[in-house]
Amino acid sequence: MQIIIVGCGNVGSTLAEQLSKEGHNISVIDERSDILQSVVNNSDVMGIVGNGASYSTMKDAGIEAADLMIAVTDSDELNLLCCLIAKKAGNCHTIARVRNPVYKREIGFIKEELGLSMVINPEEAAANEAARLLKFPSANKIETFARGRAELIKLTIEEESVLCNKSLKEVQSELRSKVLIGIVSRGEEIFIPDGNFVLRARDEISVIGSTRDMIAFFKRIKMPTAGVHSCIIVGGGETAYYLAGQLLSVGVDVRIFERSRERCKELATLLPEALVIHADGTDKDRLMEEGLTTVESFVSLTDLDEENIMLSMFVHSLSKKAKRITKVHRAGYEDIIGSLDVGSVLYPKNITAERIVQYVRGMSNSFESNIETLYRMDDGRVEVLEFLIREDSPVLGVPLQDIRLKKGILVACINHRGEITIPSGQSKIAVGDTVIVVTTSTGFHDISDILA
Amino acid sequence: MNYSMIRYVLLKVVELTGALMTLPMMVAAVYGEWEDAEMFAVLVICCFLIGFIGGKVFRPVNRVFFAREGFVVTALSWLLISMIGALPFVLSGTTVSYVDALFETVSGFTTTGASILKDAGAVRYGVQFWRCFTHWIGGMGVLVFMLAILPMADGYSMHLMRAESPGPAVGKFVPRVKDTAKILYVIYIGFTLIEIVLLKIAGLNLFEASTLTFSTVGTGGFSLVSSGCKNYPLAAQTIMTVFMALCGINFSVYYLILTKRFKEAWHCDEMRWYLIAMLGSGSLIAVNIYRAGLVATPYLAFHHAMFTVSSIMTTTGFATLDYNVWPQFSRTLLFILTLIGACAGSTGGGLKFSRLVILVRNVRNELIFTIHPKSMRRVMMDGHSVEGTTVKSVSAYLACYVFIFFGSFLIISTDGFDFETNISAIAATFNNVGPGLNMVGPIGNYGGFSDLSKIVMILDMLAGRLEIMPLLTLFSFRTWKK
């Protein structure tokens, strides 16, 4: 597809790189030529210096032939204006990043009247992600497939876990589990394991299966499956507001630490049920006073990455049980931060980019590819894809054991009319199924790409 | 430095060279030159084997690629393809020494057209085809061709394109490098086919038509006989004049025309300056040679003047008349045109008109700044302001250009030829024109120079084609430092 991206910040450049790799033709518009230059050097995209809301700049970028325009500048108003111009000039799909809560309340009207295809609020998206993790605190990361029927959950194996030093075969037979361990990352290395693979403590594994089987599996390995009951949030920004709102609605006890008195007043008005504490979140005594040692979850959402990381590590030293979520803005140091004891890490910009990429995949699905969902994990070294099987597919009706696959590929799940199964050698694939595949290769567009 | 990736690209270049040599092999076979055909066949097979096996053995682990690798790989690719391309000349006995063969090949790939052969007419068909075909390959660029056809277009490909394409600022037409490279080649192949057909209609045989076309659209200038293009019909000469001029224009103009953006195409500053300079100097020279009584009619004077100007400005280097015997004014004007060259983004060489425009406008701004010390002015080009860094790099380029020019001039003067021969030889090789004045004039050749001078000129030709910086990075200590 022809895609125009306005705004070349973190989200814009991540999108440009990602979407260009997936085979779309990308033009990027930004007023800062030096930043544009670095994006053009890193990815195979065309850069245009100019104001994205100007018609002539849009024309230079090829708006007339574009299928999609994504506006992710810093300014909400500019983003909306870009969408309006693009819609009128090119009659294409438009996506805008809008973060001001004032517009958020009127988003339905704005979307309708401006003809937007998607509006993304980075703070809200990050809050949603955090809330999802707090509902299932054993997971480091949760991704969904098959319209939410199947899940991929990432977790770390603790020293005392029953999974320790077991081979996958033993796990399968002893726990009678109906889920599949699809990816194991151990230090720097990534494995797509087979039955003889032995799990060790500190391995991070990705488990794939239906939502119901997943809960059973977690019960058997004695990890908590219920959501948290109490939560301390440090930093009372927009993300904290959205997160607290969601948590309160399901009856979680929420305490928010915020430094600024004015903001505290605002939060207290907006969230009357929450306990808003006007204190510096890094003040150890205040935290202890408010029950840090007994709280079930801790979310650090201040504007400083260093503070967030430090707080999470501090909480870990106090209580091994508490679920921690750490917000990190700066991209590019994922591996270092991942090696620290900071619990789940939220990258708001990556989340925003990921949501948009998912929308684009859905869109291009109707154009040329059969990918329903795609997740890139572990720095893009592993892809988990969900393919839709069409009538002319070469894998139809053949038992899986007779299909010769490329190296480093695992068929993880088959979704047959909403029923999720972990395939065996005899399993066959039918028309209309979706198949979840784990692979260390990239650039697959169709199920036939996995064949050797 | 990512050596594994550099090695991988170089192996692909070897493979590509092999593929390209299949054409002269077929030509040699068609004309019954079995020995030459066999030689080409052996070379093709060797290239394929090296490329294929090497590609299997040395798979690049890490595909990260930065500007530095882009420059180095471009320079090395050109050296490598020249070294392989020189083999047919030595093996077929066309030249005696390898340095001579290398000179001829580099002159071919860099679209210079300077020859060391005393009698170009004596070269056999297959080798002659290869000689002219190197112009065609080098014209648009080897790596651009690879980008267009090979599945290697990742983020790094822009570094390759930038290192190989001529001009101060290289842009893309469409988001993807691969598609941009394809568009360039489609336009290029289009011109080639049209010219072959037109020359055929003008009365040349197919071999002459195709080889001359390669020399014209690549703005190279190898001619099939030592007397140049003197003996071809006037119509054929006119066709060549037009196509040389067309291929000296920035190819982005043709893309704009193809996409029906005529207004933007017409507003290309560089093209306007280029066309004005061409018509202006053509007319001046026509008057000059007509008044000197060297041509019979005003029409012929204009015809030959335009052919020569078009040939020199686009850095092709064909000649219909020996301009060496023209009046001093014409010779000097032609020498100056040699230095300027054609447009950026074309197949021509030289300093490029876009650089000239930027330099002239920058000087004008400096002048205004001296008079009004508080004034703010930007260098404008095609209605946009030019980045400060581009203006700076153009100035630096000019400085490098002058240093290399005079350095080489000093070295080759040790051979003891006259001043005009030496300075025009350097100008003609460094700007990829081909023929110079006096001994290296249109009917002369470069055979008389010593090996040292030839090597200096080989490097000058490569530096000129690759616009200095890629070649300089090869010789920079920092490039190779871990």
User: Which of A17, A25, A41 is opposite residue B175, by nearest beta carbon?
Assistant: A25
pLDDT reported for residue B276: 94
User: A3 vs chain B: nearest CA distance in angstroms?
Assistant: 10
B219: helix, strand or coil: coil
Of the candidates A263, A1, A295, the residue with the CA atom closest to the CA atom of residue A134: A295
Contacts 24+ apart (CB under 8 A), A211-218: A211/A148, A211/A149, A211/A150, A211/A151, A213/A177, A213/A178, A213/A179, A213/A420, A214/A151, A214/A153, A214/A179, A216/A177, A216/A178, A217/A175, A217/A177, A217/A178, A217/A179, A218/A138
Contact A44 B153 (CB under 8 A): yes
| Cβ neighbours of residue B348 closer than 8 Å, sequence gap 6 or more | B111, B166, B219, B247, B248, B313, B314, B315, B316, B341, B342, B432
Residues of B in contact with A26 (CB under 8 A): 175
pLDDT digits (tens, 9 = 90+) for B152-171: 545 567 777 777 777 776 67
Instruction: Output B288 or A448, whichever has higher pLDDT.
Output: B288
Q: Are B51 and B161 in contact (CB under 8 A)?
A: no
Give yes or no for B252 touching A (CB within 8 A). Answer: no
pLDDT reported for residue A146: 77
Position B55 confidence tier, pLDDT thresholds 50, 70, 90: confident
Give yes or no for B158 touching A (CB within 8 A). Answer: yes
- C-alpha A144/C-alpha A209 separation (Å) is 10
CA of A103: how far to CAs of A77, A100, A122, B202, B385, in Å? 10, 6, 14, 71, 37
The stretches of B94-141 forming alpha helices (DSSP H) are: 98-109, 125-140
Lowest pLDDT segment from A311-320, A389-398, B203-212 = A389-398
pLDDT digits (tens, 9 = 90+) for B257-275: 998 888 888 888 889 999 9
Do the strands A323-327 and A344-346 form a parallel or antiparallel pair, or are they unpaired? Answer: parallel
State the residue for tokens 């990742």: B154
- C-alpha A216/C-alpha B285 separation (Å) is 92
Mean pLDDT in residue range A43-58: 87
Amino acid at A176: R
Residues of B in contact with A27 (CB under 8 A): 175
Q: Which two three-digit tokens encode residue A393?
A: 């597919």
Percent of chain B past pLDDT 70, that is, above it, reads 98
Give yes or no for A45 touching B (CB within 8 A). Answer: yes
Residues of A in contact with B157 (CB under 8 A): 44
User: B85 vs chain A: nearest CA distance in angstroms?
Assistant: 31
User: A421 vs chain B: nearest CA distance in angstroms?
Assistant: 37
- C-alpha B77/C-alpha B59 separation (Å) is 18
Mean pLDDT in residue range A54-67: 88
Backbone angles phi, psi at A356, to 5 degrees: -65, -45
| Cβ neighbours of residue A145 closer than 8 Å, sequence gap 6 or more | A151, A152, A208, A372, A373, A384, A386, A413, A415, A434, A436
Residues of A in contact with B176 (CB under 8 A): 20, 25, 44
Is the interface score ipTM higher than 0.85?
A: no
Burial degree of A58 (CB within 10 A; 0-12, 13-18, 19+): buried
**DSSP secondary structure code for residue B352 in this structure:** -
Position A174 confidence tier, pLDDT thresholds 50, 70, 90: confident
Instruction: Output B48 or A451, whichever has higher pLDDT.
Output: B48
Mean pLDDT in residue range B345-365: 89
pLDDT reported for residue B213: 94
Check whether B286 has a pLDDT greater than 70.
yes
Check whether A122 has a pLDDT greater than 60.
yes
pLDDT reported for residue A367: 60
| Cβ neighbours of residue B309 closer than 8 Å, sequence gap 6 or more | B278, B281, B282, B285, B334, B337
User: A126 vs chain B: nearest CA distance in angstroms?
Assistant: 29
Task: Name all domains of chain A by residue range, CATH numbers in brackets.
Answer: 2-120 (3.40.50.720), 136-220 (3.30.70.1450), 230-350 (3.40.50.720), 363-450 (3.30.70.1450)
User: To probe the interface with B, which of A18, A33, A41, A67 has the most B CB atoms within 10 Å?
Assistant: A41
User: B404 vs chain A: nearest CA distance in angstroms?
Assistant: 29
Check whether A163 has a pLDDT greater than 90.
no
Q: Which two three-digit tokens encode residue B263?
A: 């207004």
Give yes or no for A42 touching B (CB within 8 A). Answer: yes
Domain boundaries, chain B: 381-480
- C-alpha A116/C-alpha A92 separation (Å) is 10
Position B126 confidence tier, pLDDT thresholds 50, 70, 90: very high
Residues of B in contact with A40 (CB under 8 A): 158
CA A237 vs. chain centroid, Å, equals: 20
Give yes or no for A25 touching B (CB within 8 A). Answer: yes
Specify which residues A142 forms β-bridges with: A153
User: Which of B158, B178, B179 is opposite residue A40, by nearest beta carbon?
Assistant: B158
Contact A44 B159 (CB under 8 A): no
Of the candidates B178, B9, B150, the residue with the CA atom closest to the CA atom of residue A20: B178
Check whether B97 has a pLDDT greater than 60.
yes
pLDDT reported for residue B17: 92
Instruction: Output B420 or A104, whichever has higher pLDDT.
Output: B420
Chain B residue with Cα closest to A28: B175
Contact A44 B175 (CB under 8 A): yes
Contact A41 B176 (CB under 8 A): no
Give yes or no for B154 touching A (CB within 8 A). Answer: yes
pLDDT reported for residue B427: 93
Check whether B401 has a pLDDT greater than 80.
yes
Mean pLDDT in residue range B105-130: 90
pLDDT reported for residue B151: 63
Q: Are B312 and B342 in contact (CB under 8 A)?
A: no
Of the candidates A381, A375, A389, A428, the residue with the CA atom closest to the CA atom of residue A192: A381
CA A322 vs. chain centroid, Å, equals: 22
pLDDT digits (tens, 9 = 90+) for A243-290: 999 899 888 899 999 999 999 999 999 899 999 999 888 888 888 888
